[in-house]
């Protein structure tokens, strides 16, 4: 473990010989990030482990190998390395997002081990919740091998999800930046949805809430094709909002979600004086090789984060959208095509979790929602406290399920 400060849940379980799974028929939700510190994949580790019978693998969005682009359906197959069937949890319609009952038949345990990036928009936590619901009441142990939140566990930011706006990018009412690990989210989901589930979370060792990815010592593995670096994850809570528009979010370039724009945008008009001191914003030009405006030169903006502890990506990108709406009224528009298999509400409302931010942007009054967002963020910090695992020992009290965490 040279140079690594943090052991993931998988590292700890593999070293111990998979005690949570021994003697069980096991399925695993995994992707390329599902590796231990030696870069051995979860599927191979389970397949070769004495006392564990691996019988099924499940691939989230982007597939078990992580090679599929956004909103690209993935089919079921057989894993060539192990001969184990692989079932897709991201196909061609909304029904494909949940595991079928027959896929779970005969399982004694289902493992979730996928690296999240700390944003509600990112769909892996939604996949985890759908799998938890599918296992609820079936006597299947649900085991989460926890991994660090790459953008830290202290800050939360942005609005939650209003009733009627639930979706694959807003599966449960939490802020856009939730500041939790997937293990902590699993505990919150199980309690708030009253799931009949034997949940076990194998905690990380060495991770602290204030840590960002560079401090963990863990090599970055892209959890999806357009999440190439920690810096991408840092801006993603705000950068993903660009998906709800006809602007390019930088897919098809080497810096997706950081740079964004369109052929008709004029970046010199952006009021940089309004940007907070923790970020510098420059004009940029890029040519996407695929996705929106493929082959065309786009002009836009690129934020450079100076102080990651104070950086608020949701508010910054909200300001970007408000400026784009005002500066290019004849060109800028909201995305109305199907987004994660949903056409109503429209994409930007699903991403924000309600229609209020979109209407405020159109009125040039997004800043008026700041007080509402601050209050919601403070309320969520209190609400999440019983489900936290790291750095707050008293947070494990009061849930009645302290035994679900393997410290």
216 burial type by CB count under 10 A (0-12 exposed, 13-18 middle, 19+ buried) = buried
pLDDT score of 30: 95
Kindly tell me if the per-residue pLDDT of 403 is higher than 80.
no
What percent of the chain has pLDDT above 70? 92
Tokens of 69: 């682009």
pLDDT score of 33: 97
Compute, in degrees rounded to 10, the torsion defined by CA atoms 337, 338, 343, 348. Answer: -70
Do 48 and 130 reside in the same domain of the chain?
Answer: yes
**Residue 86 sits in which domain range?**
9-224+381-406
Return all residues near 95 (Cβ < 8 A) that are at least 6 apart.
none
Per residue in 201-231, pLDDT (tens digit) is 999 999 999 999 999 999 999 999 999 999 9
Do 214 and 257 reside in the same domain of the chain?
Answer: no
Number of domains composing the chain: 2
- Mean pLDDT for 176-183 is 98
Q: What is the pTM of this model?
A: 0.94
pLDDT score of 182: 98
Do 24 and 113 reside in the same domain of the chain?
Answer: yes
Is there a domain that residue 2 lies in? no
DSSP string, 72-110: -----EE-TTT--EEEESS-SSGGGGS--HHHHTT-SEE
Do 243 and 218 reside in the same domain of the chain?
Answer: no
Do 241 and 94 reside in the same domain of the chain?
Answer: no
Do 220 and 325 reside in the same domain of the chain?
Answer: no
Is there a domain that residue 101 lies in? yes
What CATH number did the domain enclosing 75 receive?
Answer: 3.40.50.12170
Do 99 and 80 reside in the same domain of the chain?
Answer: yes
Is there a domain that residue 145 lies in? yes
What CATH number did the domain enclosing 353 receive?
Answer: 3.90.1150.140
Kindly tell me if the per-residue pLDDT of 47 is higher than 70.
yes
Is there a domain that residue 1 lies in? no
Do 302 and 396 reside in the same domain of the chain?
Answer: no
Do 324 and 251 reside in the same domain of the chain?
Answer: yes
237 sits in which H/E element: helix 230-239
pLDDT score of 121: 95
Report the SS3 class of residue 268. Answer: helix
Do 270 and 161 reside in the same domain of the chain?
Answer: no
Do 189 and 61 reside in the same domain of the chain?
Answer: yes
pLDDT score of 274: 67
Is there a domain that residue 250 lies in? yes
DSSP string, 243-254: GGBSSB-STTSS
pLDDT score of 169: 97
pLDDT band at 398 (very low <50, low <70, confident <90, very high): very low
Is there a domain that residue 196 lies in? yes
Backbone angles phi, psi at 109, to 5 degrees: -155, 145
Is there a domain that residue 3 lies in? no
pLDDT score of 271: 86
- Residue pair 77/106 in contact by the 8 Å Cβ criterion: no
pLDDT score of 64: 72
Per residue in 259-297, pLDDT (tens digit) is 999 999 999 989 876 677 899 999 999 999 999 999 999
Kindly tell me if the per-residue pLDDT of 125 is higher than 50.
yes
Kindly tell me if the per-residue pLDDT of 393 is higher than 70.
no
Do 266 and 138 reside in the same domain of the chain?
Answer: no
- Mean pLDDT for 328-344 is 94
Is there a domain that residue 113 lies in? yes
Per residue in 227-259, pLDDT (tens digit) is 999 999 999 999 999 999 999 999 999 999 999
Report the length, in residues, of the chain. 407
pLDDT score of 407: 62
Tokens of 335: 């995305």
- Residue pair 211/6 in contact by the 8 Å Cβ criterion: yes
pLDDT band at 66 (very low <50, low <70, confident <90, very high): very low
């Amino acid at each position: 473990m040279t140079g690594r400060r943090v052991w993931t849940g998988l590292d700890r379980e593999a070293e111990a010989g998979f005690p949570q799974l021994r003697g069980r028929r096991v399925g695993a939700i995994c992707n390329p990030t599902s590796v231990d510190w030696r870069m051995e994949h979860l599927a191979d580790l389970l397949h070769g482990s004495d006392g564990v019978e691996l019988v099924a693998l499940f691939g989230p969005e982007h597939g078990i190998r992580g090679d599929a682009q956004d909103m690209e359906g993935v089919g079921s197959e057989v894993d060539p390395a192990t001969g184990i069937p692989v079932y897709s949890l991201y196909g061609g319609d909304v029904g494909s997002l949940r595991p079928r009952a027959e896929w779970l038949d005969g399982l004694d345990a289902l493992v979730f081990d996928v690296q999240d990036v700390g944003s509600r928009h990112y769909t892996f936590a939604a996949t985890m919740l759908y799998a938890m619901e599918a296992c609820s009441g079936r006597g299947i142990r649900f085991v989460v091998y926890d991994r660090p939140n790459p953008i830290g566990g202290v800050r939360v930011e942005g609005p939650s999800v209003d009733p009627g706006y639930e979706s694959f990018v807003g599966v449960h009412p939490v802020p856009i930046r939730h500041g939790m690990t997937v293990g902590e989210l699993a505990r919150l989901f199980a309690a708030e949805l009253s799931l009949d589930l034997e949940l076990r979370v194998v905690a990380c060792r060495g991770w602290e809430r204030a840590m960002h990815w560079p401090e963990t010592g863990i090599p970055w593995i892209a959890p999806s094709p357009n999440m190439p670096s920690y810096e991408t994850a840092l801006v993603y809570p705000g950068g993903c909002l660009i998906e709800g528009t006809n602007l390019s979010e930088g897919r098809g370039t080497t810096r997706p979600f950081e740079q964004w724009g369109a052929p008709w945008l004029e970046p010199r008009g952006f009021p940089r004086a309004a940007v907070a001191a923790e970020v510098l914003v420059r004009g940029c030009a890029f040519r996407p090789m695929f996705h929106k405006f493929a082959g065309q030169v786009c002009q836009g903006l690129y934020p450079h984060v100076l102080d990651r502890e104070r950086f608020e990506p949701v508010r910054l990108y909200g300001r970007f959208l408000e400026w784009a709406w005002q500066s290019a009224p004849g060109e800028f528009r909201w995305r109305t095509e199907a987004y994660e298999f949903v056409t109503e509400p429209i994409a930007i409302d699903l991403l924000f979790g309600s229609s209020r931010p979109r209407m405020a942007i159109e009125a040039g009054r997004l800043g008026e929602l700041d007080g509402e967002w601050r209050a919601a963020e403070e309320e969520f910090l209190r609400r999440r406290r019983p489900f936290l695992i790291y750095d707050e020992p008293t947070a494990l009290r009061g849930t009645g399920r302290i035994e679900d965490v393997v410290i």
